[in-house]
Structure 1
Amino acid sequence: MSTTPFVVAADQSFPRLVAEALRGNDSQPGLAQLEAAAEHIRASRRAFAAWLRDLAADDTAVAEIAKRSYWHPNGFAKIVLHTGVEPEFRIRLHVWPRSETPSDGESNPHSHRWEFASHVLTGTGMHMVEFAETAEGGRPYQRYRYGTDPANPAALVADGEVRLKRRGVPHVQSGDVYTCDTSIVHTVRPIDAGLTATVVVQGPRRTPTTVVYCEPGESDDQPNVDLTEADFGKLVSELLVSLDREVAP
């Protein structure tokens, strides 16, 4: 797989270059193309930082990004920087701000309706636990379906009690690329309490619903919180300081 850095021309935007990495024989990128795009972002950190700086300076872009982004209930930001149509993809930025203790991250085991590849842009890295349903052993969970209620697509709909067992504990270090398909059920959290950010290249939706698991007694009412334009500006400013330090000659 080639990891040749992008050369950013004046008439090409960074998302257009990511789209080029995604294009193959199919207009809908698969996991291999998503991984290639994430690898290109890893090889083009300076260009990504420049694009991020341009976005933060554009009031219209900031307003649009804030509308489609939010704070996860566990205190990290899920930011949609770009949406593409042909090929269909999204560039997302997940940011865990500095804190006194490590974030719980996405602590409920869950799967995704789409495949993705992510790159640890800054921070020590990510700790993940992958799960599988089992008839014996493991721990009990309440299973929910996400995306089944047309009136409220974000609602969690109860789908029975199951048991989950651990099947793997992958660690993704700073600078690494991680891929995930729709069959993976996992939890994700930053390794430490420092500023941590990942760039996610998300492919097209493959399934209408996905699963989320909650421990017995845990509430399924875990609403997201709006991300403001000021939030975006603060997070990007802190991230750029970190990136500038890392890519300085």
Structure 2
Amino acid sequence: MEDAVVQERVSPRAGGLPAGASYAELHDAFLRHTPSDLADILLRLATQLRSGRYPAGRPYRHVNGFTKIVISEQAAARLTLHYWPAAPGAPDDISRPHDHRFAFSSILLGGSQRFVELAETGDSGAERWRSFEYRPYLRGRIATVTTRGTVGLQPFRTVDRAPLEGYYRTSATVVHQAVTNRAEACVTLVLRGPRERRTSRVYYRPTEPSPRGGLQFGRRIDHDEVVRQVDHAHTLVTTM
């Protein structure tokens, strides 16, 4: 099945978003999605995958532990499904502190997750982190990494989430960590806006090896496993 899969561009309507709209309009439409709308989006995605088509690029395992599946992409926005597989007995998955080159909003479809937002500070009591600037090229296949120095990070807000209740929204300037419980699978639907700058920041503890630039490879996911994950996301939405 792997060799038969093709990548194709599809109408943004395939992701439930009106074509040719601004990010503000797309964001409003995203937040109006009902559980039934979300289920329809996932069902269409699963149908496309079963027919051997990827809507907008091959899914891959992101460095932060989730499967990333692009559902729809246009100039003003990108809609993606993020799926963290269950790992009973494993500790919470805590991403490195980071920001983004764009604003985004996220709906929790199932599982347990919260966000911790942090700010750089000169307070001597704050935990120390090494800060790096990340600049991708060629749709993220190549990146440069520049050291910014050591800074303190201080948490200032925690955002708890509940499946299909509200959404998490952040700007391109907020540093945060996603804390994902691994007792069961966790699934989010994410709408990101247009790129606002060329670089983003990521923070490593002083004892961790430095990130490397050059070629960036997300781990490939078996096609059948991607289908199973999308099916499970659909089940979560329809049985909540």
Per the shorter chain, which TM-score range?
0.7 to 0.9
- Report the counterpart of residue 37 of structure 1 in structure 2: 30
Task: Determine whether 1:169 maps to 2:162.
Answer: no
Query: 2:67, 2:82 within 8 Å by CA — same for their partners in 1?
Result: yes
- Report the counterpart of residue 50 of structure 2 in structure 1: 57
Following TM superposition, by how much is the alpha carbon of 1:55 offset from its aligned partner in structure 2, in angstroms? 1.9
Structure 1 spans left out of the alignment, 5+ residues = 1-10
Query: 1:75, 1:103 within 8 Å by CA — same for their partners in 2?
Result: no
Give a deviation string over 1:89-148, Cα, whole Å, max 9, x none.
11111110011234654521000001111111122x312111001111211111100117
Distance 1:84 1:147, change over 3 A: same
Query: 1:18, 1:40 within 8 Å by CA — same for their partners in 2?
Result: no
Following TM superposition, by how much is the alpha carbon of 1:188 offset from its aligned partner in structure 2, in angstroms? 0.3
SS at match of 1:45: helix
- Report the counterpart of residue 7 of structure 2 in structure 1: none
- Report the counterpart of residue 181 of structure 1 in structure 2: 171
Distance 1:246 1:143, change over 3 A: closer
Please give the residue correspondences for 1:60-75 in structure 2 after superposition, counting only pairs within 5 Å: 60-61=53-54, 65-66=57-58, 69-75=59-65
Give a deviation string over 1:182-220, Cα, whole Å, max 9, x none.
121000022342111111111110111111111102123
Query: 2:101, 2:172 within 8 Å by CA — same for their partners in 1?
Result: yes
More helix, by proportion: 1
- Give the paired residue count: 224
- Report the counterpart of residue 121 of structure 1 in structure 2: 109
Cα RMSD, aligned residues only = 3.0
Whole-Å separation in 2 of the counterparts to 1:239 and 1:152: 25
- Report the counterpart of residue 234 of structure 1 in structure 2: 225
Query: 1:113, 1:206 within 8 Å by CA — same for their partners in 2?
Result: yes
Instruction: State which of 160, 183, 196 in structure 2 corresponds to 1:206.
Output: 196
Query: 1:95, 1:198 within 8 Å by CA — same for their partners in 2?
Result: yes
Distance 1:145 1:153, change over 3 A: farther
Distance 1:236 1:220, change over 3 A: farther
Instruction: State which of 128, 139, 144 in structure 2 corresponds to 1:140.
Output: 128
Instruction: State which of 201, 205, 210 in structure 2 corresponds to 1:220.
Output: 210
- Using the size of structure 1 for normalisation, the TM-score is 0.77
Q: 32-41 or 206-215: which moved more?
A: 32-41
Query: 1:146, 1:153 within 8 Å by CA — same for their partners in 2?
Result: no
Distance 1:53 1:113, change over 3 A: same
